[in-house]
Amino acid sequence: MSAIDARCRDGAPLLEDARHPELLAEVHGEWSIVESSPRSLARVFVLGDFQAALDLVNAIGAVAEEQNHHPDLALTGYRNVTVTLSTHDAGGLTMNDFVLAKAVDALAG
Amino acid sequence: MSAIDARCRDGAPLLEDARHPELLAEVHGEWSIVESSPRSLARVFVLGDFQAALDLVNAIGAVAEEQNHHPDLALTGYRNVTVTLSTHDAGGLTMNDFVLAKAVDALAG
């Protein structure tokens, strides 16, 4: 089992940059690393309509609460959901962000 | 009854800029006009926690569906909700944006 299939853990350390490529390969190809402050991991979903987009926001919200790791969620343009993951306490990307990305992928089918 | 207390209507025309001050006076003081493209009306809510923020997103989503006018909704930083209203068909602000702003105010208490 890969570390990405575990649960989010409190106090996860910042990942070394060299780990990013292998972890990106374990999540959906539409995730990308954003050089924001702090650095983040983002994916955009285009749904059928507003209600479908809201349903995805809620499904992600439930997983976020369950894992105690909370992404930024933006519902824009009626049917698009942008998920942005980062670990503020660590100042960038930790394993928790990739764990949650994979959990989000599972929700989106 | 003010026009702002009516429902959103299809095909609402772009408001003249001169109308903005009087309409801003009818919604909560934290709404502000953003000179984005298209121009929009935005308010940030700071909730107690992630679930409270998600609950507000859902309450706004239900009103948006009921009125058939859909804001952009961003849940960021664990407990902040940014509501951004604009009427894309008209290319800026219409009465519908102020009507929905007032409906959102009513939800937020």
A18-72: per-residue pLDDT in tens?
999 999 999 999 999 999 999 999 999 999 999 999 999 999 999 999 999 999 9
CA-based nearest residue in chain A for residue B89: A77
Instruction: Flag whether B59 is in a domain.
Output: yes
Q: Considering its fold, how many domains does chain B have in total?
A: 1
Proportion of chain B above pLDDT 70, given as a percent: 99
Residue A85 has pLDDT above 90, yes or no: yes
In terms of C-beta density within 10 A (0-12 exposed, 13-18 middle, 19 or more buried), how is residue B85 classed?
A: buried
pTM of the model: 0.96
Residue A42 lies in a domain: yes
- Picking from B81, B97, B99, the residue whose alpha carbon sits closest to that of residue B89 is B97
Q: Any chain A CB within 8 A of the CB of B20? A: no
Which one is predicted more confidently, A3 or A40?
A40
pLDDT in tens, B16-25: 999 999 999 9
Which residues 41-70 of chain A have a CB within 8 Å of chain B?
A: 50-51, 54, 57-58, 61, 64-65, 70
Does B68 reside within a domain? yes
| Residue B9 counted as domain residue | no
- Selecting from A58, A72, A78 the residue whose C-beta is nearest the C-beta of B76 gives A72
CATH number at residue A98: 3.30.1360.20
Q: A88 lies in a domain? A: yes
- Confidence (pLDDT) at A3: 84
In this model, does residue B109 exceed pLDDT 80?
A: no
Predicted confidence at residue A74, as pLDDT, reads 98
Instruction: Tell me the two tokens of residue B26.
Output: 């009818």
Asked if omega into A21 is within 30° of 0 (cis), the reply is no
**Is A40 within a domain?**
yes
Amino acid A1: pLDDT: 65
User: Is residue A15 domain-resident?
Assistant: no
Tell me the average pLDDT of chain B: 96
Domain of residue B84: give its range. 32-108
- Check pLDDT > 90 for residue A109: no
| 3-class state of residue A74 by DSSP | strand
Strand (E) or helix (H) holding A51: helix A50-67
Dihedral pair phi/psi, residue B30, rounded to 5°: -85, -10
pLDDT for position B73: 98
Q: Which residues in chain B have their CB less than 8 angstroms from residue A73's CB?
A: 57, 74-76
B36-54 confidence digits (pLDDT tens): 999 999 999 999 999 999 9
Task: Over range B85-101, report the average pLDDT.
Answer: 97
Is residue B55 situated within a structural domain? yes
Quick check: A70 and B78 CB within 8 A? yes
